[in-house]
C-alpha cells in the first residue's frame, strides 16, 4: 500500500496551472489540467533547467517557458528530443486534496 503525502487542495492549483512543492526529490511541479487531471514532475527542465511550473499547459502536455520543449505530463518524455525526459511522480486526487506518493519522492532520481 502506498503512503501518500497531502500537498494541497485541488483548488489551490489553477486549472492549466501548476504549483511547486519542495520534496526530498527536489522541487516538484504539480500540474492541473483543464480536465482536472493532476500530474507531478520534476520542476527543472532537462534542457537547461527552465522552471516547468511556469510553462504553458495544453491538454496533457506542458511547454517549457524557456525554449519551448514540449513534455508529456504523463510520461515526462519530451517531444522530438530523445534524451529529453523529466522525472515523474505518482499523483492522485482524493476528497479534493492532491496526494503524492511518498515512496517515489524519497527515491532519489538516478540521473
Q: Which residues bind ligand FES (CB under 6 A)?
A: 45, 47-50, 64, 66-67, 69
Per-residue DSSP letter, 44: B
Q: Scanning the structure block, which residue is given the C-alpha cell 507531478? A: 40
Reduce the DSSP state of residue 104 to 3 states and report it.
Answer: helix
Closer residue to ligand FES, CB minimum distance, 7 or 69: 69
Query: Could you tell me the smallest distance in angstroms from the CB atom of residue 81 to ligand FES?
Result: 9
Query: Could you tell me the smallest distance in angstroms from the CB atom of residue 45 to ligand FES?
Result: 3
Closer residue to ligand FES, CB minimum distance, 27 or 66: 66
CA distance 77 to 49: 15
Per-residue DSSP letter, 55: S
Query: Could you tell me the smallest distance in angstroms from the CB atom of residue 27 to ligand FES?
Result: 14
Closer residue to ligand FES, CB minimum distance, 83 or 95: 83
What are 71's strand-pairing partners? 62, 78
Amino acid at each position: 500500500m502506498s503512503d501518500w503525502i497531502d500537498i494541497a487542495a485541488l483548488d489551490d492549483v489553477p486549472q492549466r496551472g501548476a504549483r511547486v512543492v519542495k520534496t526530498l526529490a527536489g522541487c516538484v511541479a504539480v500540474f492541473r489540467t483543464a480536465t482536472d487531471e493532476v500530474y507531478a514532475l520534476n520542476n527543472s527542465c532537462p534542457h537547461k533547467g527552465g522552471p516547468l511550473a511556469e510553462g504553458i499547459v495544453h491538454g496533457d502536455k506542458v511547454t517549457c517557458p524557456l525554449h519551448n520543449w514540449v513534455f508529456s505530463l504523463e510520461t515526462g518524455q519530451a517531444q522530438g528530443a530523445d534524451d529529453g525526459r523529466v522525472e515523474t511522480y505518482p499523483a492522485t486526487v482524493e476528497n479534493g486534496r492532491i496526494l503524492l506518493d511518498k515512496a517515489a519522492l524519497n527515491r532519489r532520481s538516478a540521473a
